[in-house]
Each structure stands twice: as structure tokens, then as C-alpha cells.
Amino acid sequence: MFKGWRDHSLIMGVDKTAQDKELLAMSEISLILDGYDDIFSDFDPRPYSQKSLSQDFLEEAKRASKDKAEGLELQLMVPKKARDISLEENIKKRLRDHFKRHHDMLHNEIKNFRNHGFVFLLAGIAMMTLAYFFSVDGGLLAPNMLNNLLFIILEPAGWFTAYTGLERIFNIPAQKTEEAGFYGKMASSHITFKGY
């Protein structure tokens, strides 16, 4: 299992200036693993090139990358005696593919939420406009029960639909933007394996 992440300058014992350490802290994540299996789901029997990533690994990477800038280096620390260089290239490719695919999926999801939000907003405005016409003296129809019923139905439906549209334009994409940012950072990261 994970032993956590550490600042690379502490792991490697390198004496850096304060500015170098700050830059290193902003751009580097080191995760210490017991082996390659810590990266992947225990429940997925497929080879590393197809295997699902572990939720523990993703959560640890997300936590460690929170305050990091784009272009970071992800160092995966594996015990020297457990390293297999031939597997590492497949694992790097699998990680990059996973991060890129999820970044693209979230980006498209955000775009779709906003597009649907604009449709909901316009539909809500249209309903509220119709409700106004049914509410004015005489309404579009002769003043009667049907006129009042249409007003009572359209006014709250218009407000609800417009609110739902605004939520899809602003709130939901804002929540997904952070996750998309994580996957974008990781997709552009330089992944390396090192022994310890």
C-alpha cells in the first residue's frame, strides 16, 4: 500500500536553495509504492496495459497535486528489487491514456452541461414570458379559469427551468472543473519510476 508522498529533495537528500525547493515543491509529486500493484485495482485481473487504476492511487495523486502547477513530474517510487523496467513503459502509457481520456471526458461533459443549461434557460424565459401574457388583463384568452390555470402552471415552471439552466451553466461545471484540472495536470505530467 501507499506510504505516502514526499518532497523529492528530502528523499534524494539534495541540498537545494530555498527558491529551488519552492520550485520543486510546486512541480513534483513523489508517491512511494510497495509495488506496481498499488497503482491498479485489486479486482481487475487484466494486464497492466488495460487494468483499471486504483481509487486509492487516484485519491492520493489528487491530494498531492492539489497545489501543484501544470507540467509537474510524477515520480513513482518502487523498491529497487521489485522494479521491472519493461513493465514501466506499459504502466506509464496506461497512466497517460487514463488521465487524458478522463480529462477529455470531463471537458466534454462540462461543455454539454453548459449547452443544455442555455437551452433550459431559454425555455424558462419563454415559459415566464407566456405566463406574463396570461396574467395581463384579459390575457391571451378570454379571462376564464383556463387563463388562470395556464398562468399558475407556466410561472413556477419557467422559474424552475431557468434556475436549472443557470445551475447547469455555472454550478455543475464549476464542480467538475477542479476534477478536470487534476486530470489535465496529470495527463501533461512527466511520469518517472525510481527505486528506493
- Check residue 121 and give left, alpha or beta (phi > 0: left; psi -120 to 50: alpha): alpha
Please indicate, yes or no, whether residues 8 and 43 belong to a single structural domain of this protein. yes
Q: Is 69 helix (H, G, I), strand (E, B) or coil?
A: coil
**CA–CA dist 180, 60 (Å, integer):** 16
Q: Are residues 147 and 93 in the same domain?
A: no
Residues 50 and 35 in one domain: yes
Residues 111 and 94 in one domain: no
- Is there a single domain that holds both residue 117 and residue 80? no
Q: What is the pLDDT of residues 17-33, one digit of tens each?
A: 565 455 445 458 899 99
The predicted pLDDT at position 22 comes to 53
| Residue-level pLDDT at 17 | 58
Same domain, 143 and 93: no
Domain range for 134: 105-181
Residues 92 and 10 in one domain: yes
Which residues of the chain are modeled with pLDDT < 50? 1, 4-16, 20, 23-24, 26
pLDDT reported for residue 145: 78
Please tell me whether residues 79 and 142 are part of one structural domain: no
Residue 78 sits in the same domain as residue 122:
no
d(CA 4, CA 160): 46
Could you give the residue ranges of the DSSP H alpha helices within 3-84?
A: 8-12, 18-27, 55-65
How far apart (Å, rounded) are the C-alpha atoms in residues 117 and 174?
A: 13
If asked whether residues 25 and 80 sit together in one domain, one would say yes
Claim to verify: residue 80 and residue 113 sit in the same structural domain: no
Q: What is the predicted pLDDT for the residue at 135?
A: 77
Same-domain status, 47 and 122: no
Cα atoms in the Cβ-side hemisphere of radius 13 Å centred on 26: 9
What pLDDT does residue 8 have? 43
The total domain count for the chain is 2
